[in-house]
Structure 1
Amino acid sequence: MKNVKYVLAENGLTSWHIVVSWDAPEPQKYAADELQHFIYKISGAVIPVVTDKVEKRGPEILVGPSNRYKEYEIDLDFEKLGEEGFIIKTVGENIVITGAKPRGTIYGVYTFLETYLGCRWFSSKVSKIPQRSKIELPEIDDMQVPAFNYREAYWRDAFNGYFAVRNKMNSNKGEFTDRQGGKFKFYNFHHTFNDLVPVEKYFSTHPEYFSEINGKRVAERTQLCLTNPDVLELCIQGVKEWIKKDPTCNVYSVAQNDWHNFCTCEKCREIDEREGSHAGTMITFVNKVAEAIAAEYPDKYIHTFAYQYTRKAPKYVRPAKNVIVRLCTIECCFSHPLEECNVEAIKRAEQSKTSFLDDLREWSRICDNLFIWDYTTNFANYLMPFPNLHVLQPNLQLYRKYGVKGVMMQGNFSHGGGGIMAELEAYVQSKLLWNPDIDVKKVINEFLVGYFGQASVPIGKYLEMMHEAVKPYHMSIYDMPDAPYFTDELLSKAEDLFDEAERMADNEEVLERIGNLRLQVTYTVISRMPLENPSREVMIERFSRELRKYGITEIFERRDLQMSIEKMKTSRYCRDRSGLYRVDYRM
């Protein structure tokens, strides 16, 4: 290493100490313990962890704020760190790793281990911890602040608290311990109208609480009447009950159900026509809920969607200071960067003339707390390839450009998952959510080598081939296996690359990872195969056994695996499989 200034450990020995404040909170102590643990795994040296009440005995790594700062004349500007930033800095013979509370110091420690000691955490089960007899360091002056306050790669493997915190995500779904610093926590962070005012409970006696469509109040797949004062009171009381039930949440959701059928009564229609958007009634209503909540709970936020029929920003009403609006990309093309492609791969039910980019600009102009709900898998065909890695960086850079404060990237969140490179997606997304300017190709290559070893070369060629294939087309999150970018020739080449990868596998674990990933090609081939092909049923049975071997529980969103397999036997594509979906689910 050039410009070596510090030797942390050599031949299992060290003169250093890790210092925490005598009254340090648990996340700060956890950061110190993790630093000690991984330095030991790297070098065999155990650096003692002591408090700042202990007399100095040699060079120190100061983890978090402590009384040593005054002694060493360390002056740090914590204001610049925001809510989760950190500083790694060499001062004299010492190293300071400190950050904003409660998680900044933890993120600083993991960045120190990653950037300066070479650690990587590729998934919940696969990591790279280098072995060194000597740990050398240069002078360091590294301050980082995340691009987004809320960062969530919504994949099952990424919910693992150790993976998430080590990759600096504060995911709502993250399974964190208190020592890991907690998370950005939502209460019911999805569609909640029916939770707040259940149609089953109220429609028979109060149909006026629900959508009026063509002059008639409807119960099936309905929304709320947002100009009804009783509905407002029920929602306010419902949110207050949620806060009492779980006061640890940052955000409480007041959001439309996951379908259309907005209310068109005279009062609702009047507001929406004036505002030029159905977000007019939504934001007017949510602001009133937020105002009532702020009077008693000034530190809580109310969340709602700009989704489908509410995606377009209103002309006049502005979201309140304690309202989070989450703009959703569901209709967008995911094979081209959003700033370069206005095509909507899914046609909007509402005949709006605004593009997603138009809507992003307008919401960013009027909303102080704009979040994004992004989509990073094919929801109709979980196991079908979804080559989108090339658009993640430009899209996140776009969100940052327009002042977005939080991003959730929804992938396959089922209990099984797999077969779709979920671990790579989660890893790359976690890195980009912290810093959208990273070298993405380097990150992908590091993952492939760490995850697949020698087989990373054919796997890398496969991924590159798939990404090139989708570029001439507009890819949606509901495309079918007969999409024009999938051809028999392409899939045949993919099979050859997987054959090569299996021959090059370093060991059985890597061979299993390759087999898991190969399921996406197998699924696509079977789905394109004519029903009368005599090999089809045998292939489906073998495919079914492979799914269970790898613990995969869903191949279509929200559907039982066995039912899905039976549907595959009788029809080729998801669009042909009647009764495939239901909407009674929780995220």
Structure 2
Amino acid sequence: MEQKYFQLMLIAGLFLLQVSLCQSKALVIVDKGKTDAKVLISAQAGNFERLAAEDLAVYIEKMTGARPEIINTEQEISKALTRKDIPLFIIGSLALKENPQLQKKIDAVKKKNPVLRADAIVIKTDGNRVYLAGSNEESNCSAVAEILRRWGCRFFMPTEFGQCIPEYSRLVLDEIDFAYGPPFEVRMYWISWLGDTTGKDEFMRLNMMINESVPSGHCLARYTKDIAPGGDPFKVPISERSTAEHVAAKVEKLYAEGKRFSLGMEDGLYSSDSPKDKELMSLQWDKYFMTPSMTDAFMEFYNNVADILMKKYPESKAKIGFLAYSNITIPPVRDITAKEPLVAYLAPIDIDPIHGMDDIESPQKQEYKDMLYKWAKVMQGRVVIYDYDQGMLVWRDIPNPSIAAVRQDIKHYRNAGILGVDTESRGAFATTFINLYIRGRLMWNPDEDVDKLIEEFYPAFYGPMSGPMSQYWNAIFRAWEDTIVTEHEYFVAPAIYTGDLVLFLEKKLTEAEKIAEKIAVKKEKTNNEKLYLDRMKFTRLSFDILKNYMSMVKEAATNIDYTSAAGYGEKGLAAREQLTAMNGIFTTYKRIGEQGYAWWPGEVQQYRELSGLIDGTKGTLVKKLPLEWAFMRDPENIGLKEKYYECPVDLSYWNKNHKNFTVKTRKDYPEKTWEIVTADLYIQAQGIRNKDRQSYTGYGWYRTNVELNNNDVQGNVHIMFPGLFNECWLYVNGQQVAHRENYKPIWWFNDYRFEWDIDLTGKLKPGENTIALRIYNPHHFGGMFRRPFIYRLK
């Protein structure tokens, strides 16, 4: 019933639209597959004007089967303009020439005093004429995109796969007098990680995105390598006037010519032995990168460079881009105003990409909101957000929606008066899905109704399957919106894609596939019906990847069955191959390669290696340690004094009250009180947070008891923690037996196996053994995320 409702509502909506158009002074563009309409562009039209005309003609033909003629010669234009009996679409500079009043409409809505450029569009009907123009050549394409949207065309993803084009036997256009200018001068994404760019330009164009930017990429070492101490580009005395003079001399020609160029920092953490730098570094600590902030020192450098060049070339319109990234993400402490040529690209790579700035569950994102407004003040609005979509940086080709975040954040970007958004994406539409479409709409109009955009997506994209498919994807969207996790890599997956969610998704997918069977058996299918079936195949393969990956994680992290885990991993990777074969834009792994344990094939390889420790190849399993462990938060670091490694574990409060706590309210669990956590998920994802909802950092203690017999303790016995973050200390029967002291505090600098293997030969005894694990978590992920075991090494 539900899918029929969606279909009927869509049909009824389109019918009422056509009826209302016909009852007004509507211009008939196509009737019964025939058209006399002409598309006129100047004989001197540039590339974007020509693209705008082509887009209009192509999609009218896709909607109706009739293609209007494009006219672009002086003689034919003059002849066409005399016609009063046929529809004339007049685009771009020709429209402004024929109707000069349009320019006033554009000027009234476009951004005043732009830094880079101001975009605006105007669409006006006048009898048989339809004028479509923009404030610049590229904006002409946005005017055409607007009229296509009004006809119901949607471009949810690149290539025909993501295009939803309605079919009409009669296409009409009501009277229009519309002008609009977006608030952002930069509205774009680019494809990183060697992703497939097929269809990207058209997708951006038809969603009102543009390619306006200021270069900001990593390149500073190009200008400082000859003065870097010891050749280390991250040790340059950045705030010293001499450094600015050195760099200014090297970029002087670019500045004099009015170019846009980058002085962006290199990709790493900066430090310095310069006395001046050290003084400025002492102003604030960067808790995200666990190092002194270099922002004040870098702003001294950038202002010095700009000052030197501005004095020498006061007429230059050059722009100097730089990255507010790594340990210059946090705004400067001092009251600084950036020089006019400078444009900052704020790149919050280590700040929660899941939640919006107004979400109380993410203090990190609220901190970032404060950073945004401070940077906007420092830069006098010359800020571009350089964010990441997909936000999960090392991931597993499963859906990673960002809608909950961007729908909140975009309004703050507008309110802060910044230049816009330049998103680093990989495409990877099996992961990003409709994220980039929603981003494009919000960059154009931050007040766009996101719920309406999502609601209209399902019948357009899935047709008769829209009912169960809306439930499928809305469940995924809710899971991401409701989660408390704030981290940005694949370890978060089991906290979001729970077993119950995966079962629900499978049920809804099966329902949709049964509906799709009715289309599949038809001998004659419309183009849209063929696309519906392709999209169902895409969704099935996407789900197979998800289901197999999550099964792999459960078998490895929860059940310690590494053979089964690897088997599920291989099935998931096979499904990924099939998905990629459908369309290269769905994934990105093919071109970059996936070398090492951080990537999915490497994770499968890790499980095969772990299997060898317990299947008799390199060792045999002695005992799986419990899934549930007692846990004590130790923010005051009193655990050693209180002997948490051997004192009685009192779980009476937990046993009586744990059902009263949810993952969101567990932050309020009483201090100095034992609780239960599982060993297959890192602690923050289980609700171990501070009362202010910040991720718990500091010391913590795991405790369990294990019963062993005489045979169990014989031979070369080890304990393996196959997934464990943090510096750790292991205690057995009250004695410290190991210290993991070589673990790097910033987790991504470590070996991505995250294993800790300890030789316990002679340390265990027959009977009950008390195992205690003390962790020190300074940053993000904390504790165990794969269940440990005891094995005997051959």
Tell me the distance in 2 between the aligned counterparts of 1:573 and 1:499: 34
Structure 1 partner of 2:407: 393
After superposition, the Cα gap between the structure-2 partners of 1:157 and 1:399, relative to the gap in structure 1 and judged at 3 Å, is: farther
Does 1:164 pair with 2:204? yes
Matches of 2:456 and 2:259, distance apart in 1: 35
Q: Residue type of the partner of 2:344?
A: V
TM superposition shift of 1:280: 1.6
State the distance in 1 between where 2:263 and 2:203 align.
30
Q: Is the 8 A contact 2:245 2:308 kept in 1?
A: no
The aligned residue for residue 379 of structure 1 is: 393
> Of 248, 273, 277, which residue of structure 2 is paired with 1:268?
277
The aligned residue for residue 303 of structure 2 is: 287
2:443 equivalent to 1:407? no
Look up the equivalent residue of 1:138 and give its one-letter code. Answer: D
Q: Deviations over 1:514-550 (max 9, x none)?
A: 1342123432332232242542222222222222222
Q: Aligned partners of 1:250 and 1:120: how far apart in 2?
A: 36
State whether structure 2 residue 223 is matched by structure 1 residue 191: no
User: Offset of 1:36 from its aligned partner?
Assistant: 2.2
Distance 1:282 1:525 in 2: 47
2:26 corresponds to which residue? 5
Q: CA deviation at 1:382?
A: 4.1
Matched, 1:495 2:521: no
Return 234-243 or 443-452, whichever deviates more: 234-243
**Contact 2:541–2:578 (CA under 8 A) maintained in structure 1:** no
Question: How does 1:338-487 map onto structure 2 within 5 Å?
Answer: 338-341=357-360, 343-344=362-363, 355-368=367-380, 369-376=382-389, 377-413=391-427, 417-420=428-431, 422-470=432-480, 471-478=482-489, 480-481=491-492, 484-487=495-498
Unaligned stretches of 5+ in structure 2?
1-17, 112-117, 286-292, 521-532, 581-586, 608-721, 726-746, 754-794
Q: Report how far residue 490 of structure 1 moved.
A: 2.6
Identity %: 19
Consecutive unaligned residues in structure 1, runs of 5 or more: 171-182, 211-218, 347-353, 582-587
SS in 2 for 1:535: helix
Query: Secondary structure of the equivalent of 1:392?
Result: helix
Superposed CA deviations along residues 229-254 of structure 1, whole A, max 9, x for unmatched, are 5543553355468789xx9x974222
SS of the equivalent of 1:326 reads strand
Q: Which residue in the other structure is 2:356 paired with? A: 337
2:39 maps to: 18
Q: How many residues align?
A: 538
Q: 1:142 aligns with which of 178, 199, 212?
A: 178
CA drift at 1:165: 1.1
CA distance in 1, matches of 2:340, 2:430: 42
**Does structure 2 conserve the Cα–Cα contact (< 8 Å) formed by 1:547 and 1:553?**
no
Paired amino acid for 1:436: P
Structure 1: distance between partners of 2:222 and 2:593: 19
Match of 2:578 in 1: 549
- Tell me the distance in 1 between the aligned counterparts of 2:27 and 2:278: 69
State whether residues 194 and 257 of structure 1, in contact with CA within 8 Å, keep that contact through their aligned partners in structure 2. Answer: yes
Tell me the distance in 2 between the aligned counterparts of 1:366 and 1:332. 20
In structure 2, C-alpha distance between the alignment counterparts of 1:534 and 1:167, rounded to whole Å? 46
Q: Deviations over 1:478-512 (max 9, x none)?
A: 35146544433233333333333444445552333
Deviation at 1:39, TM superposition (A): 2.0
Matched with 2:672 is: none
Counterpart Cα distance in 2 of 1:429 and 1:254: 27
Contact kept, 8 Å, 1:459 with 1:497, in 2: the verdict is yes
CA distance in 2 between counterparts of 1:96 and 1:361 reads: 39
2:789 aligns to what? none
Aligned residue among 553, 559, 568 for 1:539: 568
**Which structure: larger Rg?**
2
- AA in 2 matched with 1:568: V
Match of 2:336 in 1: 317
- 2:109 pairs with 1:60: no
Q: 1:153 to 1:63 in 2, by over 3 A?
A: same
Write the distance in 2 (CA, Å) between the matches of 1:356 and 1:477.
15
**C-alpha separation in 1, matches of 2:378 and 2:181:** 24
What is the match of residue 510 of structure 1?
Answer: 535
Counterpart of 1:355 in 2: which secondary structure? helix
Deviations 1:174-203 (A, max 9, x none): xxxxxxxxx22454x3333334434xxx4x
Moved more, 272-281 or 428-437: 272-281
Equivalent position amino acid for 1:109 in 2: V
Distance 1:71 1:251, change over 3 A: closer
Residues 1:120 and 2:186 aligned together: no
Aligned residue runs from structure 1 range 83-98, under 5 A: 83-98=118-133
Q: 1:110 is matched with which residue?
A: 145
What does residue 674 of structure 2 align with? none
Contact 1:407 1:433 in 2 (8 A): yes
SS class of match (1:302): strand
CA-CA distance at 1:356 after TM superposition: 1.6
Q: Determine whether 1:527 maps to 2:540.
A: no
Q: Which amino acid aligns with 1:372?
A: I
Tell whether 2:189 aligns with 1:153.
yes
Contact 1:381-1:555 at 8 Å conserved across structures:
no
* Alignment-derived partner of residue 45 in structure 1: 66
Alignment CA distance shift 1:5-1:76 (3 Å): farther
Partner of 2:136: 101
Q: Residue 34 of structure 1 aligns to which amino acid in structure 2?
A: D
Match of 2:262 in 1: 253
Contact 1:60 1:93 in 2 (8 A): yes
The DSSP-based 3-state class of the residue aligned with 2:448 is: coil
TM-score (norm. length: structure 1): 0.80
C-alpha deviation, 1:209, in angstroms: 7.5
Which whole-Å CA distance do the structure 2 matches of 1:250 and 1:529 have between them?
56
Whole-angstrom distance in 2 between the partners of 1:30 and 1:548:
34
Please tell me the residue identity of whatever aligns with 1:395: D
Contact residue 209 and residue 225 of structure 1 kept, 8 A = no
- The answer (yes or no) to whether the contact 2:472–2:508 under 8 Å persists in 1 is yes
Worse-superposed segment, 544-553 or 278-287: 544-553
Structure 1 residue 553 displacement after superposition: 4.6
Q: 1:27 to 1:153 in 2, by over 3 A?
A: closer
Tell me, in whole angstroms, the C-alpha distance in 2 between the residues paired with 1:574 and 1:184.
44
The match for 2:229 is 208
Residue 557 of structure 1, CA deviation:
9.0
Q: What do residues 557-580 of structure 1 show as CA deviations (whole Å, max 9, x unaligned)?
A: 984389741333315769799645
In 2, are the aligned partners of 1:331 and 1:344 still within 8 Å (CA)?
no
**AA partner of residue 385 (structure 2):** I
Aligned in 2, Cα 1:439/1:419: closer, same or farther, shift over 3 Å? same
Higher RCO (Cα < 8 Å, 6 or more apart): 1
For residues 369-422 of structure 1, the C-alpha deviation after alignment (integer angstroms, 9 at most, x for no partner) is 111122332112243443432222111111111112121233435xxx3532x2
From the superposition, tell whether residues 355 and 73 of structure 1 become closer, same or farther in structure 2 (CA, over 3 Å).
closer
Q: SS at the partner of 1:378?
A: coil
Do the aligned partners of residues 362 and 75 (structure 1) sit closer, same or farther apart at CA in structure 2, a change above 3 Å counting?
closer
Q: 1:503 to 1:410 in 2, by over 3 A?
A: farther
Q: Does 1:306 align with 2:342?
A: no
Aligned equivalents of 1:573 and 1:504: distance in 2?
A: 42
Task: Note the C-alpha offset of 1:428.
Answer: 1.5
Task: Name the SS for the 2:277 alignment partner.
Answer: helix
Whether the 8 Å contact between 2:157 and 2:437 is mirrored in structure 1 is yes
In terms of fraction of residues, the more strand-rich structure is 2
